[in-house]
């Protein structure tokens, strides 16, 4: 904790970053001290021990593409965080890279997952069945020692290892985030045959339920996984 007793969180963002939506709202509700790191343009060394929680967000890039210079640096940051017993919550790309950092693999999936999709959950109090918003073309194997809590036919959707959790879906998504994603990545939707207007409308209809479901997951993560529930 910081000197004032607040939860200290570092949000790791990437190119074309979109503000973390419900994750930011949740951290604000906990009166957390939040810093942001645009790791793709900021190559300074960050000591994860300065924080209680790291949250690497999604990216348009593949978590297995080490030709991109900042991906190995972020992987090393996540390894250092785990070694320092700093809790990590990895979201989409962040969850895939966390899996890699801990010994799993990330690779191109047999099929994409785009839209509001349910997951098969083994612990609905921690990871509700959704539907959760998905937009990804890659998948991963859970790292050694991890417990997979949710999956789909494409691959793992949530896992826990130690005080860390990786997610394939996007609990942070809001209608505002979706507007930005559809504007930026409409070509991906067109290529996959996804109707962007229908996706935006479904996101608006789902917003209130998704906020409650995401809050449930984030609170359970903080209490049961990160064990920072008294923050």
Q: Using CA atoms, how far apart are residues 178 and 7, in angstroms rounded to an integer?
A: 28
Residue 4 corresponds to which tokens in the numbers above?
Answer: 């004032």
Q: What are phi and psi of 49, to 5 degrees?
A: -65, -10
> Any catalytic annotation for residue 45?
no
The helix (run of H) or strand (run of E) holding residue 211 is helix 196-220
Whether residue 170 lies in the annotated active site: yes
Beta bridge partners of 106: 140
Catalytic residue from among 170, 183, 188, 192:
170
Phi, psi of 210 (to 5 degrees): -65, -35
Instruction: Please confirm whether the linkage preceding 131 is cis (ω < 30° from 0).
Output: yes
Angle, nearest 10°, between helix axes 196-220 and 175-184? 130
Q: Which of 74, 92, 113, 136 is catalytic?
A: 92
User: Which residues does 34 contact at the CB level (< 8 Å), separation at least 6?
Assistant: 9, 10, 11, 24, 27, 28
Catalytic residue, from 172, 187, 188, 201: name it. 172
**Residue 183 appears among annotated catalytic residues:** no
| Of residues 99, 214, 215, the one with CA closest to residue 162 | 99
| Residues known to be catalytic | 92, 170, 172
């Amino acid at each position: 904790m910081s000197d004032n007793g607040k939860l200290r969180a570092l949000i790791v963002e990437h190119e074309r970053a979109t503000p973390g939506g419900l994750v930011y709202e949740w951290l604000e509700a906990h009166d957390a001290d939040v810093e942001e790191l645009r790791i793709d343009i900021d190559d300074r060394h960050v000591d994860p021990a300065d924080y209680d929680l790291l949250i690497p967000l999604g990216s348009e890039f593949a978590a297995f593409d080490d030709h991109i210079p900042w991906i190995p640096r972020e992987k090393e940051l996540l390894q250092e965080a785990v070694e320092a017993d700093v809790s990590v919550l990895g979201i989409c790309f962040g969850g895939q890279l966390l899996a890699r950092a801990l010994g799993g693999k990330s690779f191109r999936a047999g099929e994409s997952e785009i839209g509001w999709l349910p997951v098969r959950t083994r612990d609905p109090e921690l990871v509700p069945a959704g539907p959760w918003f998905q937009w990804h073309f890659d998948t991963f194997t859970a790292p050694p020692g991890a417990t997979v809590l949710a999956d789909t036919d494409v691959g793992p959707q949530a896992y826990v290892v130690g005080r860390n959790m990786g997610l394939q879906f996007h609990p942070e998504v809001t209608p505002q985030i979706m507007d930005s994603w559809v504007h930026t990545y409409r070509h991906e939707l067109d290529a996959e045959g996804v109707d962007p207007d229908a996706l935006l409308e479904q996101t608006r209809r789902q917003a209130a339920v998704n906020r409650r479901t995401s809050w449930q997951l984030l609170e359970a993560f903080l209490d049961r996984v990160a064990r920072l529930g008294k923050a």
